[in-house]
Amino acid sequence: MTEPLLAVEGLRAGFGATTVLHGVEFSVNEGEIAGIFGLNGAGKSVTMKVLAGVVPSRGGRITFAGQDITRLSAEKRVAAGMGHVPQGRQVFPDLTVAENLRLGAYLLRRKDKARAASLLDGVFDRFPVLAERRDQLAGTLSGGQQASLAVGRALVNEPRMIFVDEPSAGLAPLVVQELFATLKQVATSGVTMVLVEQNVSFGLQLADKAHILQMGRIVYSGEVGALDQQALAGYLGIGRMLGGVTSSALAGRRAPSPSPAINGSAAATSAEGEDRVPRSQRRRQARATSGS
Amino acid sequence: MGQVLVLGLVYGVIYSLFAVGIVLVYRGSGTINFAQGEIGTFGLFVAWWFTTAHHLPWIIGAVAALVMAAALGAGFEWAIVSHMVEANRVSVAVATIGLLAFLVAFEVRFFEGGNIRKMVAPIRGTGWSVFGVVVSPTQILSLLAAGALAAGLALLLKKTDFGLGVLAAAQDPVAVRLVGIPLARVSAFVWGLGAAVSVLGALFIEPTIGVFTPGFASEMFIKGLAAAVVGGLTSLEGAFVGGLLIGFVEVGANRVFDFPGVKMFSILFVMLLVLLVKPDGLMEGFKFRRRALA
Ligand SMILES: Nc1ncnc2c1ncn2[C@@H]1O[C@H](COP(=O)(O)OP(=O)(O)O)[C@@H](O)[C@H]1O
Ligand SMILES: [Mg+2]
């Protein structure tokens, strides 16, 4: 068997006196889409930040492409082939679309300008809306366009693996379907992916493997196909959620009630089609629901 | 009137330089380096040591002072500020006051700072009379240097990847690391550049004022701070506009009213007026948004 591209062993992390990750373990093979699912506050985003190197680990080991990267800075990890689409997208609001993409290719442009230019063309082909709006300030884009920009910004550096945290948050179902189709293409083109989704029915459409995170521990890892509904419901505390997964009609209609998301409020956000709600407001909503 | 314009420009440009240094650091780290002015004074001591005490050309002293300031600014960021990423921004500002106190103590101890000193001018010569004011070659040079600095900064920040990274770091310090930009280098650069710009301001204004003692450039810094705030604290264009405005107001008030302290009164007045009418500064179109590290 070949080595996994990413191996996470006994990863611990926390803030101050609280421990958030109590020994997270999972691995991702080359070419795979690994879905990380879990309730709000389970530690999915913290896991992503520790993997990125922007939150320090307090124990455990991260191996990427055969190299122990546990002590590497965030920049060096990007140089090693990691790309990030963080929660909330985090595009640079006062820079234009083109400037955001130029910074996405910061490291590649220092090595190979021509290669960076051709990757940029690839991103513009994949997201024509970004090409049309290349001189628009990123902060004035809609949520869906910002999501495209965040994905594009990660891809222009030619990553081996991208880490995508809740790309669907705050987007209308139709926009989510479009974005997921793009992510699927990206994965097919050979980029390995870790995907965090709180909307499990969306996430399961895309993922090959599922890792379920509960209170800072992985409690299930396995093929998505092997996951039975009962087990999933047991871990995530809801039933009937696979009802919508196979139904492509989900894309075209408002989210059914009871919703397929892990918690009701998140489904409400994605069902309202509020593609243009200012981010600050969306944040406030997100925060308001995070106690559940 | 002509005299007010000429003198206001001469002083205003210097305040602009200090304001630019303040804005750079504020944008890069969300705080204010209160030692920046005194780094300017310290630069004068260094330049004086080379030129007056050791009779080397002005340019040698100036370059040494600029290098010292850049190293001091960047070194302070590296040694102290970079370890305070999680800290309240006010705590960082207080740490810079520690550096200010240290610099003053150092000047007094090692340069016998109590003595009044004079720094030589970059260019000698009698100058030209404009609107009845004699404008010295140094003053002309300082205008040119400020213009060159403004153009250089604009080019750097908009045209180079590194400069764009500086702008981006102010908008989202976490996201810049996620795209692979070395944030530590960006911050150190901004603090170093801010400090070096202070030295530039101090070197150009000293010949106009005549003498310097410890604390010399800290007074300029306070006016630069007023200029930066008037300009919105985050806008480089605002820093230049604010500096010139403070310069004109100060010189104008000094002509119209004749009582001690009128300059500082007038600056306070303008600052309050701008803050009341446009609380985000004159350049409020260009807003700076700080993201929580969520
Ligand atoms: N910067 C932080 N400081 C303190 N606690 C945090 C911080 N970030 C996350 N946490 C806590 O860590 C836990 C996991 O958060 P997170 O990983 O964001 O959850 P999710 O699985 O919804 O993405 C939560 O209890 C959250 O409050
Ligand atoms: Mg999260």
Nearest to A78 among B172, B174, B180 (CB): B180
Q: CA nearest A269: which of A250, A251, A289?
A: A289
- Distance (Å, rounded) from C-alpha A18 to C-alpha A35? 26
Q: Give residues 151 to 210 of A whose Cβ lies within 8 Å of B.
A: 153-154, 157
Whole-number Å distance, alpha carbon A45 to ligand 2 midpoint, is 4
Chain B residues touching chain A at CB-CB below 8 Å: 161, 164-165, 167-168, 171-172, 174-183, 286-289, 291, 294
Query: Cβ-count burial of B120 within 10 angstroms (0-12 exposed, 13-18 middle, 19+ buried)?
Result: middle
Per-residue pLDDT for A274 more than 70? Answer: no
Q: What is the arithmetic mean of pLDDT over B225-230?
A: 92
Q: What is the arithmetic mean of pLDDT over A144-166?
A: 95
Question: E-strand spans in A38-98?
Answer: 59-64, 67-68, 82-85
Q: What is the arithmetic mean of pLDDT over B140-156?
A: 87
For the record, the structure tokens of A14 come out as 């926390």
What pLDDT score does B276 carry? 86
- Distance (Å, rounded) from C-alpha B175 to C-alpha A32? 25
What pLDDT score does B127 carry? 81
Chain B residue whose CA is closest to A51? B178
- Distance (Å, rounded) from C-alpha A227 to C-alpha A224? 5
- pLDDT over 90, % of chain B: 45
Q: What is the arithmetic mean of pLDDT over A70-74?
A: 94
User: Which residues have CB under 8 Å from A148's CB, separation 6+?
Assistant: A127, A129, A130, A179, A182
The residue whose two tokens read 């889409």 is: A33
Mean pLDDT is highest, among A40-44, A160-164, A225-229, for A160-164
- Answer for the pair A221, A210: CB distance below 8 angstroms, yes or no: yes
Where, residue-wise, is CATH 3.40.50.300 in chain A? 6-229
Q: What is the arithmetic mean of pLDDT over A137-144?
A: 93
Per-residue pLDDT for A169 more than 70? Answer: yes
Higher confidence at residue A50 or residue B264?
A50
Average pLDDT score over chain A = 82
CA A181 to chain centre: 14
What does each C-alpha distance from A210 to A2, A3, A106, A233, A291 come to in angstroms? 20, 19, 32, 14, 24
- Distance (Å, rounded) from C-alpha B56 to C-alpha B78? 32
Residues of A in contact with B235 (CB under 8 A): none
Record: contact A94-B288, CB cut-off 8 A: yes
Is A45's C-beta closer than 6 angstroms to any atom of ligand 1? yes
Q: Which residues surround ligand 2, an ion (CB under 5 A)?
A: A 44-45, 87
- Distance (Å, rounded) from C-alpha A17 to C-alpha A225? 39
Q: What ipTM was reported for this prediction?
A: 0.80
A99 lies within 8 A of chain B by CB: yes
Nearest to B165 among A54, A74, A106 (CB): A106
What pLDDT score does A285 carry? 41
User: Which residues have CB under 8 Å from A87's CB, separation 6+?
Assistant: A45, A48, A165, A166, A169, A196, B294
For the record, the structure tokens of A248 come out as 């492509």
- Answer for the pair A221, A26: CB distance below 8 angstroms, yes or no: yes
Tens of pLDDT, residues A17-31: 999 999 999 999 999
Of A4-18, A115-129, A160-174, B135-149, the poorest mean pLDDT is in B135-149
What does each C-alpha distance from A213 to A44, A165, A198, A218, B44 come to in angstroms? 7, 14, 11, 4, 60
- Answer for the pair A83, A157: CB distance below 8 angstroms, yes or no: yes
Average pLDDT score over chain B = 87
Record: contact B178-A104, CB cut-off 8 A: no
Tens of pLDDT, residues B44-63: 999 999 998 899 999 999 99
Q: CA nearest A152: which of A110, A193, A121?
A: A121
Q: CA nearest B238: which of B192, B210, B280?
A: B280
* pTM for the predicted model, two decimal places: 0.80
- Answer for the pair A152, A130: CB distance below 8 angstroms, yes or no: yes
What pLDDT score does A1 carry? 58
**Which atom of ligand 1 is found nearest the CA of A44?**
21
Nearest to B180 among A94, A95, A157 (CB): A157
Distance between terminal CA atoms of chain B?
Answer: 53
Per-residue pLDDT for A261 more than 60? Answer: no
Size of interface A-B (CB pairs under 8 A): 78
- Distance (Å, rounded) from C-alpha B106 to C-alpha B43? 12
Is A38's C-beta closer than 6 angstroms to any atom of ligand 1? yes
Record: contact A74-B177, CB cut-off 8 A: yes
Chain B residue whose CA is closest to A49? B178
Q: What is the arithmetic mean of pLDDT over A135-145?
A: 93
Q: What does the domain layout of chain B look like in residue ranges? A: 2-293
Chain B residue whose CA is closest to A153? B179
Record: contact B179-A86, CB cut-off 8 A: no
Please report the DSSP string for A1-20 in residue order: -PPPSEEEEEEEEEETTEEE
Chain A residue whose CA is closest to B185? A75
Higher confidence at residue B209 or residue A8?
A8
Please report the DSSP string for B61-116 in residue order: HHHHHHHHHHHHHHHHHHHTGGGGTTS-HHHHHHHHHHHHHHHHHHHHHHS-TTS-
**Which atom of ligand 1 is found nearest the CA of A38?**
21
Record: contact A78-B172, CB cut-off 8 A: no
**Which atom of ligand 1 is found nearest the CA of A46?**
17
Whole-number Å distance, alpha carbon A288 to ligand 1 midpoint, is 14
Helix (H/G/I), strand (E/B), else coil: B131: coil
User: Which residues have CB under 8 Å from A55's CB, separation 6+?
Assistant: A13, A46, A49
What pLDDT score does B234 carry? 83
B22: left (phi over 0), alpha (psi -120 to 50) or beta: alpha
- Across A97-135, b (16+ Cβ under 10 Å) vs e yields bbbbbbbbbbbbbeeeeeebeebbeebbebbebbeebee
CATH topology for the A6-229 domain: Rossmann fold (3.40.50)
Per-residue pLDDT for A282 more than 90? Answer: no
What pLDDT score does A265 carry? 39
Of A109-123, A232-246, B252-266, the poorest mean pLDDT is in A232-246
Per-residue pLDDT for A270 more than 50? Answer: no
Q: Pairing state of beta strands A67-68 and A59-64?
A: antiparallel
Class of domain B2-293: mainly alpha
Please report the DSSP string for A185-241 in residue order: HHHHTT-EEEEE-SSHHHHHHH-SEEEEEETTEEEEEEESTT--HHHHHHHHT-SSG
Nearest to B175 among A53, A75, A86 (CB): A86
Is A150's C-beta closer than 6 angstroms to any atom of ligand 1? no
Per-residue pLDDT for A14 more than 80? Answer: yes
What does each C-alpha distance from A186 to A149, A155, A162, A171, B252 come to in angstroms? 14, 9, 10, 20, 64
Instruction: Please report which residue ranges of B115-178 form alpha helices under DSSP H.
Output: 137-159, 161-171, 173-178
Chain A residue whose CA is closest to B288? A94
- Answer for the pair B27, B157: CB distance below 8 angstroms, yes or no: no
Per-residue pLDDT for A264 more than 60? Answer: no
For the record, the structure tokens of A4 come out as 């996994």
Higher confidence at residue A35 or residue A287?
A35
Q: What is the arithmetic mean of pLDDT over B100-113?
A: 86
Per-residue pLDDT for A39 more than 70? Answer: yes
- Answer for the pair A123, A155: CB distance below 8 angstroms, yes or no: yes
Whole-number Å distance, alpha carbon A38 to ligand 2 midpoint, is 9
